[in-house]
Structure 1
Amino acid sequence: MPDVSGLPEPPGAHHVVLYDSDAQFLAAALPFARAGLAAREPVFIATGPGNASLLRRHLGQDAGQVDFADARTWYHSPAKTLLAYHDKACAAPGGSRVVGEAVWSGRNEDQAREWTRYEALLNLALLATGAKHLCPYDTRVLPEMVLRAARLTHPGLAAGADYWSNPAYVDPEQFSAACDTAPLPARPRRAQARAFHGNEDLAGLRDFTNRRARAAGLPPTRIDNLLICVDEAAANTVRHGAGHGTCWIWTTRTEVLCEISDPKGTLNAAIVGYLPPSVSQLNGRGMWIIRQLCDSVDIRTDHRGSRVRLHLDRDPDVTPPGTAPPA
């Protein structure tokens, strides 16, 4: 292994490298990974096949000491990927290294926004863990919206083996709150609705949800997930909101969507439910469960109350983070 003792260490936990060539990618990712191996830290790399192949080739025999995952399966759900990285960091208290290149191709604007939020909240997930993340962004192919968000969500910048603080960095909670100012796409007219009033109506709401999910062709495990999430969101409305609300369900070619509205409720959605609640924490468990069981969740609060919109993919064969096939 080459001597990396003289390489500068990243001053913080989360750095972005903007690259426009294979050489620039390697100039940052290779010494970062080698420094981790030299320090006997776990090194995890989740990137596309092309960049993974580059790193394997240049790491040589040392590539066998690195855990590789295909970014196309690792970066499936923002909340699940956030948890996976949080758990990896906590499992290596002596420090760990990640080269993580999120997938942006094929994301619509709403999905891309949630992944930029993930990058912001990753800073909170890594606090006091000793983990270091290097996030490559390919400026040749990524849209300006994604590149602009990258400059706001990473406290550190990197180029080659050089690291410095990012003056454009925005506080994660502030950035996440700004994500919730974007309007949600309107519910389609075909969406089917059911009102609920108090706890006595929740059984009927579950039956309504179950029938619609079955009609949409969701597999049984996905239906169970949706029922749990609808129950949690509606029960929160009953206990802490207006005591009543409405549930809408509709489908697209790829998703089943379910929205629970509370005409009086308010939710601080900036960070709630994204990070694992502590054992002593009483609140936030419902939203934590919802975010882990759904593929994505949108929350909006305004003068009309709050809305929790649940997204479940109709494809049952998507591989979740942590179970990506060997590269």
Structure 2
Amino acid sequence: MDASHPVDPDGGPDPATGRATPGFRHEALVYDDVEQLTSIAAPWLLEGLSAGDAALIAVGPAATGPLRAAVGADPRVMVVERHALYRARTPTAITAFRRFAAEHAAPGHRVRVVGETDFGTSAADWREWQAYEAVVNVAFAPHPLWGLCVFDAALPEPVLASVRRTHPRLATATGRAPNAEFVDPASYLRALPVPEEPLEATRPALADDAITDYTGLRHAVRDLLGTVDGPPDVLEDFLMAVDEMTSNAVRHGTPPAGLRLWTAPGRLVATVRDSGSGLDDPFAGYGPAHGEDLSHGGMGLWLARQLCDHVAIRRDGRGVSVRLSTSWG
């Protein structure tokens, strides 16, 4: 994911075909009720359909019916259950939207998306999806998508504040305009605080603060997770994520590298640390490090973000740590 080459959202010629290649537009609409949402979003979708764009609706159940009815039965209108996108993990959502763009945008046109992010209920959920709204400004930059992200005005103020800081443009009943509160995505992500994890203040079930026997540690993690009463697929995913991050720290980080792992009913947390200053890219792990060519590796953090509910990177005077957490039940 490269933030150094922004794409003109109004498009430019494709050197290979000569056709316009419109890039990503990202707008926010804060609505008071479903009627207001529909009155703004439906004409915008219809305008796009008339111009040759496709449409995707992924909003809450109260708004899906009225919005779908308002745009009619055009076969280019796709309706996706909101949680299928926004309660998946963030890299999965990014991949899904890119796929919609690749499969449904006609040459020179976009897929117009009315999407309603589900920010979840915990501080960790909030952070994950706040980060997502900043990340997509870069992750979708070259893709023919036009996102109208809609947000209920009753959402908590910290969430609404993040909306204003992560969307370059705002949509209202009076039209569309640049958003003066928008913050450069990299700056926003670097300043986004990581919520506290209470388990980290307790004694870990497993700790190795200076790893010398990586293979032995991996077996110890597997043995520990084998005692945890949880869904086998969740435990296996967590083991794989811990293995990926520990391997990265040992092979590519600055020694000493360490691992601490906590278990609690329905919850797992692990912190992997090394003593260096790497992982400074705020977009790391939201896509493979080397793009679509997976043969070059660089997939560890990307895999971890797909295997765990939350991944948080922290830096301090002792080095860099990656915190992984997963819950069930």
- Scaled to the shorter chain, the TM-score interval is 0.7 to 0.9
Mapping for residues 1-327 of structure 1, pairs under 5 Å? 13-62=25-74, 65-76=76-87, 77-92=89-104, 94=107, 95-104=110-119, 106-139=120-153, 141-160=154-173, 162-179=175-192, 181-182=193-194, 184-186=196-198, 187-195=200-208, 201-276=213-288, 277-278=290-291, 279=293, 282=296, 284-315=298-329
The equivalent of 2:11 in structure 1 is none
Q: Which moved more, 1:29-38 or 1:281-290?
A: 281-290
Indicate the SS of the match to 2:240: helix
Indicate the SS of the match to 2:272: strand
The equivalent of 1:7 in structure 2 is none
Please report how far the alpha carbon of residue 12 of structure 1 lies from its aligned counterpart in structure 2 after TM superposition.
6.2
Identify if the C-alpha distance between structure 1 residues 65 and 267 changes in structure 2 by more than 3 Å, giving closer, same or farther.
closer
Contact 1:14-1:123 at 8 Å conserved across structures: yes
Q: Which moved more, 1:269-278 or 1:167-176?
A: 269-278
The equivalent of 1:5 in structure 2 is none
Q: Percent identity?
A: 32
Please report how far the alpha carbon of residue 283 of structure 1 lies from its aligned counterpart in structure 2 after TM superposition.
6.8
State the TM-score, normalized to the length of structure 2.
0.82
Q: Which amino acid aligns with 1:100?
A: G
Paired residues, number? 301
Describe the superposition over 1:188-245 as per-residue Cα deviations: whole angstroms up to 9, x where unpaired: 42421231656x6222222222223232233333333222222221122212223333
Contact 2:23-2:142 at 8 Å conserved across structures: no
Describe the superposition over 1:145-181 as per-residue Cα deviations: whole angstroms up to 9, x where unpaired: 11111011001111247221112111111111111x4
Q: Which amino acid aligns with 2:61?
A: P
CA–CA separation in structure 1 for the residues paired with 2:318 and 2:235 = 29
Identify if the C-alpha distance between structure 1 residues 96 and 161 changes in structure 2 by more than 3 Å, giving closer, same or farther.
farther
Describe the superposition over 1:296-323 as per-residue Cα deviations: whole angstroms up to 9, x where unpaired: 20110110211111122325xxxxxxxx
Contact 1:42-1:97 at 8 Å conserved across structures: yes
Higher relative contact order (CA 8 A, sep 6+): 1
Indicate the SS of the match to 2:312: strand
CA–CA separation in structure 2 for the residues paired with 1:283 and 1:300 = 23
Q: Which amino acid aligns with 2:83?
A: R
Identify if the C-alpha distance between structure 1 residues 156 and 254 changes in structure 2 by more than 3 Å, giving closer, same or farther.
farther
Q: Which moved more, 1:24-33 or 1:258-267?
A: 258-267
The equivalent of 1:323 in structure 2 is none
CA–CA separation in structure 2 for the residues paired with 1:128 and 1:182 = 29
Indicate the SS of the match to 1:247: strand
Describe the superposition over 1:49-90 as per-residue Cα deviations: whole angstroms up to 9, x where unpaired: 10102112323333x542212223421222321222233234
CA–CA separation in structure 2 for the residues paired with 1:80 and 1:204 = 32
Contact 2:23-2:141 at 8 Å conserved across structures: no
Please report how far the alpha carbon of residue 272 of structure 1 lies from its aligned counterpart in structure 2 after TM superposition.
0.9
Contact 1:259-1:308 at 8 Å conserved across structures: yes
Q: Which amino acid aligns with 1:134?
A: L
CA–CA separation in structure 1 for the residues paired with 2:162 and 2:27 = 13
Indicate the SS of the match to 1:242: coil
Identify if the C-alpha distance between structure 1 residues 269 and 185 changes in structure 2 by more than 3 Å, giving closer, same or farther.
farther
Runs of 5+ unmatched residues, structure 1: 1-9, 316-327
Q: Which amino acid aligns with 2:181?
A: A
Contact 1:31-1:161 at 8 Å conserved across structures: no
Identify if the C-alpha distance between structure 1 residues 11 and 292 changes in structure 2 by more than 3 Å, giving closer, same or farther.
closer
